[in-house]
Chains A and B, each alone.
Chain A
Amino acid sequence: MLVAVALAVVVAVVVRRTAFGHRLLAIGGNRRASVLAGLPMQRTIIAVYTISGVLASVAGIIFTARLRAGDPSCTGLLIELTGITAVVVGGGALNGGQVKILGTVVGAVFIQLLTTTLVSHNVPDSGARIVQAVIIIAAVYTQRTTRSGS
């Protein structure tokens, strides 16, 4: 949990304060324009996916450490969708170029809380996933609306 809070702060600082973060936002906002402006596209994209993989594995390692057991075939199953939901609920645009770090954290807690509440109501886990999917669709729809409206 502390690791998560620390990482959220680090991510926020990186995105808001460093050149790398601004490069990311530029690439997400308009990829063609950033390439024409001379940003190192390939290097940035590779770095981004590497960071994502490293953080995912950190989460997996901590999870295993807590559980004291590992099962590669079902441990991280579909957690990428949960992560996407957390980001989208937090207000990050799926087309890129927009980010809310605090929103991502709030989204993560929100998703977990929702799943826990549903499970404690004897709704099966698959039911909770359906709710998650509905939330993704609703969030994407909302984003599309706000983008075309503004």
Chain B
Amino acid sequence: MTGTQDSGSAVASPTEVVAAPADQGGGTAASVRGRSATSALSRNGAAVVALVVVLVIGFVTVPTFGSVDNLRNVAVAASFIAISSAGMTFVIISGGIDLSTGSTYGSSS
């Protein structure tokens, strides 16, 4: 994985990046899209592609994956991450990084 991305960064030939094997679904898709267009939509598209890949893997390999209970549990569990990473988004766009989030999360419980 590292080797393919390394070659992509050294040589600015899009064909080489596209030809890279999709061993790491999310990472490769992100690099391809980021190279072709860096607009907001396509970057979001990379994350969506990664999400869909995991969804498909889950549906194929886990029998009870598609049940309403499971999907609801995942959504609820993801919401905690989403809330705390909404704050983290602010910190990261201002150029910093906040390592106290976990401790604050824990000590508020």
In the bound complex, residues from chain B placing their C-beta under 8 Å from that of A59 are: 80-81, 83-84, 105
Assess whether A112 is in contact with B74, with CB atoms less than 8 Å apart: yes
Flag whether B22 is at the interface (Cβ < 8 A): no
Contacts of B50-76 to chain A: CB distance below 8 A: 50-51, 54-55, 57-58, 61-62, 65, 70, 73-76
- Residues of B in contact with A (beta carbons under 8 Å apart): 1-2, 5, 8-9, 12, 24, 26-27, 30-31, 34-35, 38, 40, 43-44, 46-48, 50-51, 54-55, 57-58, 61-62, 65, 70, 73-109
Contact with B along A70-101 (1 / 0, CB 8 A): 11111111111111101101111111111111
Instruction: Indicate which residue in B26, B38, B90, B100 contacts A51 across the interface (CB closer than 8 Å).
Output: B90
Give, as a whole number of angstroms, the nearest-CB distance from A114 to chain B.
5
Extra 20 A-B pairs, beta carbons < 8 Å, given A48-B91, A120-B62 = A4-B86, A7-B86, A28-B92, A57-B108, A58-B108, A63-B105, A71-B109, A79-B84, A89-B50, A91-B43, A99-B92, A101-B89, A107-B47, A112-B74, A112-B77, A113-B51, A113-B78, A117-B57, A138-B5, A146-B31
Pairwise interchain contact B101-A112, C-beta atoms closer than 8 A:
no
Considering the chains assembled together, what is the distance between the CA atoms of A11 and B58 in angstroms?
A: 30
Known: A4-B83, A111-B81. A61 touches B89 (CB 8 A): no
Asked if B35 contacts A80 (CB within 8 A), the reply is no
The CA of A66 and the CA of B76, in the complex, are separated in Å by 10
The residue in chain A whose Cβ has the minimal distance to the Cβ of B72 is: A1
With A89-B47, A109-B75 as given contacts, are A83 and B81 in contact (CB-CB < 8 Å)?
Answer: yes
